[in-house]
Amino acid sequence: MDLLWPGFLVFLAIVPILIAAYLRALRRRRAAIRYSSLSLIRAALPRYSRLKRHLPAGFFIAGLASLVIGLGRPVSVVAVPTDQTMIILAVDVSRSMCLRDVLPNRLEAAQAAAIAFIESQRAGAQIGIVAFSGFAEVIQAPTRDQTALRTAIESLVTGRRTAIGSAILKAVDLIAEVDETVAPSVRNPTSDDAPPPVPEGVFVPNIIVLLTDGASNIGPLPLEAAQQAADRGIRVYTIGFGADGGNEFPQCPTRLLGSEPLGDGFRRGMGGMGGGGFGPGGRFPRGIDEEALKGVAALTDAAYYSAESADELQAVFSELPTNLIMKHEMVELSAGFTAFGALLAAASLLLAFRWNPLLP
């Protein structure tokens, strides 16, 4: 439980003051009784248990404390089932996805796994697709049309370089276009235009599933982009895909070659190709930046998965918690604490009038 206005808790200082005042009053009351025969006085008064003497005061003080906590606006995060799930698949289409360490190649294995994943989702889930190499682009807006999604996946082609941060921000913007409760990404997260982050533990029912076989080498840093997703309550599940490419050079079939714009680093020689570039002697290592992918997942309260084969990738997609996505909402508890405090205060007055022998 958190408090929206924690400053009001300063008024809880009145509780120990009231307790001290009550104990002092009891002592003064005992000291005021100075009769020669106290036994006669005790015999004349009704017999009350210690509980009955102190319970009204205890109820009053506890009720006052509850009212003060209510002023602080206590809130709690609760998980609520939702049928408005949105899943954004962000798929790496850098040239390294043509490596054949996973047959027939990484990209076609990823396409098959993504299609199987789409077909396994329940009818209420909306799925959108973002493809990224040197930049990120929306391939399919969120939809429940599995035929359109399959066509979009099958149309993927490769490009140069790997912009993981751009893919995350593009996916965030795609979610924001559909879900009005989610703010779009901003160029400068520290500016005044940046939306305030959601309270800790609050999540929207939208997730991003990012698959890559390399390391980011252009665009925003992955962790900076992930922070914007976390500030909006969006979880980013990351998948590192591919085995060790070794000496293999990625040979893309013609059908998987895409056309790219000139300039801005898109055509700067073979060393600028995706997956982290080539090593000495033309080697193309696996190059997955697992540290960054794990950091993205941890920052957004999601998970990182590793897959080195088509079967492992299929298993990873089946393990994604998409069937148990819950909407996390913040519920204010002020009314409950206020009502409880008022009830205790009323009970203390009622018991005091009923049990106090000095009142008519």
Q: Are residues 147 and 7 in the same domain?
A: no
Of 309 and 11, the one with more pLDDT: 309
Q: Confirm whether 360 is domain-assigned.
A: no
Q: Confirm whether 127 is domain-assigned.
A: yes
Write 99-103 long-range contacts (CB < 8 A, 24+). 99/213, 99/242, 99/245, 99/248, 99/250, 99/275, 99/284, 100/248, 100/251, 101/242, 101/243, 101/244, 101/245, 101/246, 101/248, 101/308, 102/241, 102/242, 102/243, 102/308, 102/309, 102/310, 102/313, 103/310
Q: Are residues 123 and 210 in the same domain?
A: yes
Q: Confirm whether 135 is domain-assigned.
A: yes
Q: Are residues 121 and 221 in the same domain?
A: yes
| pLDDT beyond 70 at 113 | yes
pTM of the model as a whole: 0.65
State the chain's mean pLDDT as an integer.
77
Reduced to 3 DSSP states, what percent helix, strand and coil does the chain have, rounded to the nearest 5?
45, 15, 40
Q: Are residues 97 and 72 in the same domain?
A: no
- Averaging pLDDT over each range in 78-87, 120-129, 213-222, which range is the top one? 213-222
Q: Which two tokens stand for residue 256?
A: 């998987």
Q: Are residues 168 and 69 in the same domain?
A: no
Question: What number is the average pLDDT over the span 35-53?
Answer: 55
Q: Are residues 40 and 168 in the same domain?
A: no
Of 184 and 191, the one with more pLDDT: 184
Q: Confirm whether 47 is domain-assigned.
A: yes
Q: Are residues 200 and 59 in the same domain?
A: no
* C-alpha span between 358 and 157 (Å, rounded): 90
| pLDDT beyond 70 at 322 | yes
Number of domains observed in the structure of the chain: 2
Q: Confirm whether 61 is domain-assigned.
A: yes
Strand ranges of the sheet holding 326-332, from the earlier edge strand across to the other edge: 2-3, 74-81, 326-332
Q: Are residues 98 and 118 in the same domain?
A: yes
Q: Are residues 284 and 237 in the same domain?
A: yes
Q: Is 290 left (phi over 0), alpha (psi -120 to 50) or beta?
A: alpha
- Span of 152-156, 168-172, 256-260, 262-266 with lowest mean pLDDT: 262-266
Tell me which residue range forms the domain holding 291.
83-324
Confidence category of residue 209, pLDDT binned at 50, 70, 90? very high
SS3 179: coil
Q: CB within 8 A of 58, min separation 6: which ones?
A: 348
The predicted pLDDT at position 48 comes to: 53
Q: Are residues 335 and 317 in the same domain?
A: no
List pLDDT tens digits, range 244-300.
Answer: 654 566 677 777 776 654 333 333 333 333 344 444 434 444 578 999 999 999 999
Q: Confirm whether 148 is domain-assigned.
A: yes
Q: Are residues 187 and 320 in the same domain?
A: yes
The predicted pLDDT at position 87 comes to: 93
Q: Are residues 177 and 305 in the same domain?
A: yes
